[in-house]
Each structure stands twice: as C-alpha cells, then as structure tokens.
Amino acid sequence: MPELDLTGKVAVVTGGSRGLGRQMSLAFARHGATVVVASRKADACAVTAEEITRETGQEAIGLGCHVGDWAQCDALADAVYERFGRVDVLVNNAGASPLYPSLAEISEELWDKVLAVNLKGAFRLSALIGTRMAAGDGGSIINISSIGSIAPSAHELPYAAAKAGLNSLAGGMARAFAPHVRVNTIVAGTFLTDISKAWDMDAFERFAETRIPLQRGGRPEEIVGTALYLASDVSSYTNGAAIVIDGGMTSSR
C-alpha cells in the first residue's frame, strides 16, 4: 500500500492562512510537501508560511490572491510554476458566505461576490493548473464544498448555489483531466473554525444535540485525514468523489 507521503510534492491551498486551510497546509508540510499558502491577505499568508516552515522544516511561501479576480488567479498560477515548476496538489478552499437580511434584499453585488469567491476562482485555478498537471506528471485537485450545497438553508442560498456549482465542476473536471489528474470534493459540515468565535455557542450546542448525530461541531484538524488521503497516492483510484464530513448531519435528514 502507498503511504500518506507527500515528499517532493508542491501543494497550493487557497484560503490557506486560517481555519481549515491552515490545518490542511500544516498537514501537507508535516507529510513532506512544499506548501503555497494563498489568500486575499498576503501578510497573513506570509505569517502562516513562516509558522509552517518553523514547525515542520518544510519550505512554505505565502502569496496574496483574491480568487474572485480572474487575473489574480492567473498571476498565482504563473508565480507558483515560475518558482517551483510544478503543482501536485491544488486545494480550492477559499470561501465566503456574507449574511443578508432577506432573500429579496440580496444585492447583485453580494451575489456576484459570493459566486466569484466560491466558484469562479476555483474554476479558473483548476482549469489553469489542472491543464498543466495533465500535461506533466499529474496531480490531485481537492475542492472544499459544504453541506449547504446538498441541504441548503434560507440563510446561505448564494453560498449554497456556488458550492453546488463547485460539486458539479469536480465531476466534469475529473473526466476532463483524466487519467493523470484526480479531482475530488470534500463536502464539509459545521467546523469550529475562527468564524465560530462570533457564534452563540449555547444555541449552537442545542442545535448540535438535535441535528448532528455526533452532537458537536467538527474540530478543524478533523478534516486533515481526508485531505491527506485525497492529496496522496493512497487515493490513486478515487476520482470524481464527494466525501461528506459532517458528523452525520445530512445522513439523518
């Protein structure tokens, strides 16, 4: 059996400076990968990259990229290939889900912003990097989706629509870039990342007790095993898959 070994591989993680992205970036480095941490805030990416190198001894760099901007996606891909000559793992993790008062009050600006960050950027980066992977030594593309894409609430519809589109992209790109590039999706449930610090945790715990069979939110590090599986050769026959990690929430519907 192959191992969870990423030695010699280059991994690009969007939204990599905090939350789930940070945990995946650290995990890839711990297993031997060179990591490119990308997000809108270049300073935060640089700090995270320094922390990764300090903790793991692996090379890591931070690059600013607003994935909702097509030109910045192009620039990110070019910068990584210019520096390393390859990308073996791409994680499309960047996301945003702004609050809105009602469906009728969703502005065109909010709609366009949410679709750009959650869907347009992932498409562009996957198209650029997946094409180069397919022409080279292959690779793995991992999309981070949400259970909102399969069980949306009224409070996240632009986000849910974007993530549903992301799910669809994975299926098509799994065919487009085969046989040397695998494209898979992690459909994430409720994880207690930085954003949860603003939640009413008493209310969330009541929700979890009745709606999540494991009766809690996920810890950010609990996405790591699946990400490593999909990034490594252990998953060499996994392509076009959607793996749900939500504590059983959607299975109980």
DSSP assignment of 83-110, as one string?
HHS--SEEEE--------S-GGG--HHH
| 101-115, 134-148, 236-250: least confidently modelled range | 236-250
* pLDDT above 70: percentage of residues in the chain: 91
DSSP the chain: ---S--TT-EEEEETTTSHHHHHHHHHHHHTT-EEEEEES-HHHHHHHHHHHHHHH---EEEEE--TTSHHHHHHHHHHHHHHHS--SEEEE--------S-GGG--HHHHHHHHIIIIIHHHHHHHHHHHHHHHTT-EEEEEEEEGGGTS--TT-HHHHHHHHHHHHHHHHHHHHSTTTEEEEEEEE--B--GGGGGS-HHHHHHHHHHH-TT-SPBPGGGGHHHHHHHHSGGGTT--S-EEEESTTTGGG-
**pLDDT attached to residue 2:** 60
Which residue range is the domain that position 118 belongs to? 10-245
What pLDDT was estimated at residue 117?
Answer: 95
Instruction: Go through 87-108 and write b for each residue having 16 or more CB atoms within 10 A of its CB, e for each that does not.
Output: bbbbbbbbbbbeebeeeeeeee
- 202-241 pLDDT, tens digit per residue, is 666 666 666 767 767 778 788 889 999 999 999 999 999 9
38-72: per-residue pLDDT in tens? 999 999 999 999 999 999 999 999 999 999 999 99
| Residue 1 located in a structural domain | no
- For residue 3, is it within any domain? no
Question: Has residue 219 been placed in a domain?
Answer: yes
Average pLDDT, the chain: 90
Indicate the number of domains in the chain.
1
pLDDT recorded at residue 82: 98
End-to-end CA distance of the chain: 36
| Residue 35: strand pairing partners | 11, 60
For 164-200, what is each residue's pLDDT tens digit? 999 999 999 999 999 999 999 999 877 776 665 555 5
251 in any annotated domain: no
Q: Domain with 200 in it: what CATH number?
A: 3.40.50.720
For the chain, percent of residues with pLDDT exceeding 90: 73
pLDDT at residue 199, rounded to an integer? 56
Place of tokens 């999540």: 212
Task: Tell whether 183 is covered by a domain.
Answer: yes
The structure's pTM equals 0.92
User: Which residue among the candidates 81, 100, 159, 229 is catalytic per the annotation?
Assistant: 159
**Would residue 5 count as lying in a domain?**
no
Q: Is 237 a catalytic residue?
A: no
CA 23 – CA 44 distance, rounded (Å)? 14
pLDDT of residue 249: 72
Is residue 64 situated within a structural domain? Answer: yes
Residue 98 domain-assigned? Answer: yes
pLDDT of residue 245: 85
